Amino acid sequence: MVSAMLLTAGLAAGALAAPATNVPGHRKAGFTVPQVRAVGHVRHGPTQMAKTLLKFGKTVPDELTATIKAWKISRREEMMKRSQGSAITTPEQYDTEYLTPVQIGTPAQTLNLDFDSGSSDLWVFSSETERSDVAGQATYNPDSSSTSKELSGASWDISYGDGSSSSGNVFTDVVSVGGVSFDSQAVETAKNVSTSFTSDANNDGLLGLAFSTLNTVTPTAQKTFFDNIKGSLDSSLWTVDLKSDKPGTYNFGFIDDTLHTGDIAYTDVDSSQGFWMFTADSYSVGGSSSGNSTTGTGSSTGSGSSRASASASSAAPSATSGSGAGPGGFGPGSGSSSGNTGSGRGGQQSGGSGSGSGADSDSSSDSLLDLLTGLFGRSPEPKSRASGSSSAAATTLTGIADTGTTLALLPQSVCEEYYAQVSGASYSSSIGGYVFSCDATTPSFSYTVGDVTIAIPGDYINYSPVDSSGSKCYGGIQPDSDIGFSIFGDVALKAAFVVFKDDGNTPQIGFAAKTL
């Protein structure tokens, strides 16, 4: 600004120093200023009248002043209700998680957070985090923000389904995502974090987008960022367009129709457990479908089958009861076991020793365990399987849409059906999931909501190598045995354009085919 003023002054001085003269062959200088209509300007007669009176030194009547003030207030409220925001989200290796920049405080401190529709706490690494637990993460310092306020007596303590955890104190501060801000958002500052978070150097915390009933702040639960801003948005919704191995987008308050093709199919959400739980009408493996819907099955590769073969079934975890954790170590409950004693992520609980004999007995490697860190997601531990969830005979799929979970975790029978179509696939209790040759052909898997079918490409399901040899790969679809419900994680969600809507009526989730 200063340099611009000096330049203007210099030009003006030069003009005075060189009076205009009629130089032969030189035309007198002149310029044109185009008129541009003010975008967003709203005409208001009383305001223009007041400006005219003031311009000519007259007094504006009190009645006119009151009218203008009331109009400005209503205009401000209207503008607040016309708000939108858009933020780029970038995947980590193998799309294990997607990180989105969030600005916190005044002046703004930028942290990269994992947006998690399976939890409801906004927590961050902070100046209060034990130094030994910080390994490259950006930290939020409330003392450096002029707008931070400590929430006296408040604390939080969250344990996720994958065995990770964090806890600490609570402040309120300005939080901005993609240009949309809330002035007094609860920001939970971590004092303690589990080793899995410490080892994730790029992840500075989580921003929960489930329903506020899951928030863990005590003695008074706090609202999520979305619940705080939804009344000021153009539309009370947010959308996610996750992409494979490249940045995607979170949008708040609007639907960008360039990100999807065809109609968006909406279905009601059961929010009673705090999650975005819905039911897919049918599913299909490759070209074969199972379910009540008569709509198409979307693009597919490979041959399909309506039921798993006996060999695939024998490789799956048996139904014997145990006290252990299934894939990912999601909390307590009936454990599935098959021959060997297995453990969930982080070794939180060990599986019961069952009598099945068909399980792969390969031992897991350190590189696999490193790879699986954060893989299964961070939904708060479920208490029980939701009513209406898929069983061996079911044709629908009931589960939660969870951006904080990497894999698609589906009923055992569905997994058996899928991996029957993958040559050499078997269930490894030591690795905690289905594995197969990395050279194997993996068919697509489709799920249908209303009139829209979402096809998960086969290469999404050939998720990643299990070790450095690159010979065996881990499946992107795994059993939901001990979780309590199925989970449509990133493997399923990045195949679709997804709308999360909560406008005061029954919440809904919408699915549409992605723009290629």
Single out the residue of 272, 240, 251, 237 nearest to residue 503, CA to CA. Answer: 237
Which strand (E) or helix (H) includes residue 3? helix 2-17
What three-state secondary structure class fits 235?
coil
CA 194, 199, 203, 208 torsion: positive or negative? negative
Cα–Cα distances in angstroms (integers) from residue 448 to residues 25, 255, 475, 485, 496, in the given order: 77, 21, 21, 18, 11
Distance from C-alpha of 479 to C-alpha of 267, rounded to nearest angstrom: 24
Single out the residue of 440, 433, 377, 434 nearest to residue 404, CA to CA. Answer: 377
Check if 402 is active-site.
yes
Distance from C-alpha of 344 to C-alpha of 376, rounded to nearest angstrom: 10
Which strand (E) or helix (H) includes residue 460? helix 458-461
Single out the residue of 212, 172, 209, 204 nearest to residue 188, CA to CA. Answer: 172
Catalytically annotated residue among 95, 173, 204, 402: 402
What three-state secondary structure class fits 279?
strand
Cα–Cα distances in angstroms (integers) from residue 269 to residues 295, 401, 451, 507, in the given order: 21, 10, 17, 5
Alpha helices in 158-212 (DSSP H): 195-198
Catalytically annotated residue among 95, 114, 116, 360: 116
Contact call for residues 310 and 300 (beta carbons, < 8 A): no
CA 249, 272, 231, 280 torsion: positive or negative? positive
Single out the residue of 475, 477, 480, 479 nearest to residue 464, CA to CA. Answer: 475
Distance from C-alpha of 506 to C-alpha of 40, rounded to nearest angstrom: 34
What is the CA 275 to chain-centroid distance, rounded? 13
Residues facing residue 91 across a β-bridge: 98
Single out the residue of 239, 281, 235 nearest to residue 260, CA to CA. Answer: 239
Token pair listed for 460: 């999404």
3-state SS, one letter per residue, for 96-111: CCEEEEEEECCCCEEE
Q: How many residues does the chain have?
A: 516
Token pair listed for 422: 């993958």
Distance from C-alpha of 493 to C-alpha of 248, rounded to nearest angstrom: 12
Residues facing residue 496 across a β-bridge: 513
Strands 205-208 and 109-116, bridge-based pairing:
parallel
Contact call for residues 396 and 291 (beta carbons, < 8 A): yes
Check if 133 is active-site.
no
Q: Which residues are catalytic?
A: 116, 402
